[in-house]
Amino acid sequence: MLDVYQKLEKIVLKQFISNDLYVRHAYSRNVDVALQGVPDIVIRPRDAKEISEILKIANTENIAVIPRGAGICEFGGSKPIGDNGIVLDLKRMNNILSLDEENLIVTVEAGISWAKLNEYLCHYGLYTGCMGPGSGMSASIGGGISHHSVGGGGCAKYGACTNQLVSLEVVLPTGDIIETGSQANRYSKQPFNRFGNGPDLAGLFCGDNGIFGVKTKVSLQIFPRPEFAAYKTFQLPRKEREVSAKIMSEVRRKGIDVYDLMYIMDLLVRVGTQEGYMPMWEHLKKKRGVIFYTVEANSEVELNEKVKQLDEIMLNNKTELLGAEISDGNIAKWHYVEQGHWQFYHNLWGMYPSMQALTAECFAPIHRYPSILNDIDQWDMEHAEDMQKISEITKIRPIAGSGPILLIDGNNVEITCGFTSFWAFYNGKVHKTIEETNIKLWKSLLERVTKQGVQWYMMGDFMSRLMVDINAYSEEYYNLMKPIKEIIDPKMILSRGKFNFWGDGKRV
Ligand SMILES: Cc1cc2nc3c(=O)[nH]c(=O)nc-3n(C[C@H](O)[C@H](O)[C@H](O)COP(=O)(O)OP(=O)(O)OC[C@H]3O[C@@H](n4cnc5c(N)ncnc54)[C@H](O)[C@@H]3O)c2cc1C
């Protein structure tokens, strides 16, 4: 491995490559603490050309390469599968390359965060529409495109961030560099459209979880931020799952272009206030679930009309309006005005010390989510024995459930669901028992949710292989996906092991 290191060292400056143990361990995990893979080398390239050279060496030496944006995938997507390989950290590539104000298109390096890009755009009265994922303060644009990320604001109006994609520059696993969309024509003066010049090859890299190429340059549509906005929060009546789904359907059927519409369930309201991370709801007598909307408009008249229609739907469904200020419980105001859209989920991850959220994120049609949530409750009861095993050690019973439900594009919602457990870091002896039980339960729950017919949009190490293990792909679909990978990446260099394209990924 030393001679590989020496070859790579010639590509980047000394300070941008490391094989120190502590650096390798720092890059061995993502947000979940359950999955670990320690790389041999961590490297931070400056541009597509350097990445191309790195990948050529990796092909010659037959070493896996794992692209990493901010590394905040929830289930091991941007760390190696098994202890090996080169982690390609893209965070140095964080520049804005051009702003085409006339055609409303921005071009950036793929390692830039959603927050940095939007901070820049706001000086021009512009924004990305879909503000990326809830982790957008640090999550990269390249990570977002690789996941079809959605959830960090604006998702009911604009949908997933890949909807705004215009063109990509991608370094293929063999080291060749391509551009997609309008840029496939070498005579094009600037990126302006995704579709055309043949099939939509950008689509191949959207949601690919880093298996088909390294995104280095991304052009996105951008939008003028409307001058007027309203934001209101309502408490739901009983049967909140069904009522909230009904409200979302009615909003869609009436064609009201809400910016965000989110249902936050009673459990989160209760635990959130108990633990002090949602002080805005402490005064609520009944700790029921809430639903909020944010809506934008170009004039006061337009805004008032939209608000009138939305309020009518809310009140016809027997919700109760909370006060206008954040301290009155109006989380919608915090979400839209105070950048809460990028902070909201962080609290959920930090509810208790040593809490382990073993989650996954999926899309489902609006009308399906109440029954999916009911089935997760049912799964929880069926697994009481294993839950008991964990709570005997940690003294806290794990829970299965879902984070907030968010309206996205079409008649769909985003569901973050999973299993929240606790790790006894303080007691090394029981660590193995907890780890094994947690992983067994995590797999079992995600298999159950998969069989509800949901669509996982970020797959990581965990979901990409689980889908294959439980036979969720049709044979025909998998048999098309695999040869595409083999043609683009004959040595399975990039993100080796995902989707079980290379056995269990631990073959070295
Ligand atoms: C608190 C919190 C909130 C979150 N909220 C959301 C949410 O609302 N919606 C959502 O979608 N996700 C959410 N996530 C999950 C995750 O942070 C996002 O999906 C995010 O887009 C990942 O970006 P990243 O830069 O961290 O990517 P990484 O974790 O670094 O990488 C993700 C995947 O993309 C690949 N990849 C990264 N960059 C490139 C590149 N340039 N070229 C090729 N492949 C690449 C990696 O190999 C990996 O497979 C959340 C996570 C946390 C911890």
Q: Residue 384, SS3?
A: helix
Regarding the beta carbon of 71 and ligand 1, being less than 6 Å apart is answered: yes
Closest alpha carbon to 18 in 46, 50, 41: 41
Highest mean pLDDT among 200-214, 423-437, 490-504: 200-214
Mean pLDDT of the chain: 94
Instruction: Give per-residue pLDDT as tens, 360-385.
Output: 999 999 999 999 999 999 999 999 99
Residue to mutate (ligand 1; options 42, 46, 72; most atoms within 8 A of CB)? 72
Instruction: Give per-residue pLDDT as tens, 129-158.
Output: 999 999 999 999 999 999 999 999 999 999
Regarding the beta carbon of 147 and ligand 1, being less than 6 Å apart is answered: yes
Contact 402, 376 (CB under 8 A): yes
Regarding the beta carbon of 420 and ligand 1, being less than 6 Å apart is answered: no
The domains of the chain, with CATH numbers, are: 96-224 (3.30.465.10), 228-340 (3.30.70.3450), 352-460 (3.30.70)
Q: What is the DSSP letter of 16?
A: G
Regarding the beta carbon of 113 and ligand 1, being less than 6 Å apart is answered: no
Query: What average pLDDT does range 391-396 have in this prediction?
Result: 83
Instruction: Give per-residue pLDDT as tens, 436-490.
Output: 888 999 999 999 999 999 999 999 999 999 999 999 999 999 999 999 999 999 9
Instruction: Give per-residue pLDDT as tens, 174-199.
Output: 999 999 999 999 999 999 999 999 99
- Looking at residue 353, its pLDDT comes to 64
Query: What average pLDDT does range 239-249 have in this prediction?
Result: 98
Query: What average pLDDT does range 340-349 have in this prediction?
Result: 83
Ligand 1: nearest atom to the Cα of 93: 41
Q: Is the pLDDT of residue 351 over 70?
A: no
From the CB of residue 355, how many other CB atoms can be counted at a distance below 10 Å? 15
Q: Is the pLDDT of residue 428 over 60?
A: yes
Residue with CA closest to ligand 1 atom 28 = 71
Q: What are phi and psi of 405, to 5 degrees?
A: -100, 130
As a whole number of angstroms, the distance between CA 163 and CA 297 comes to 21
What would you measure as the largest C-alpha separation in the chain, in angstroms?
70
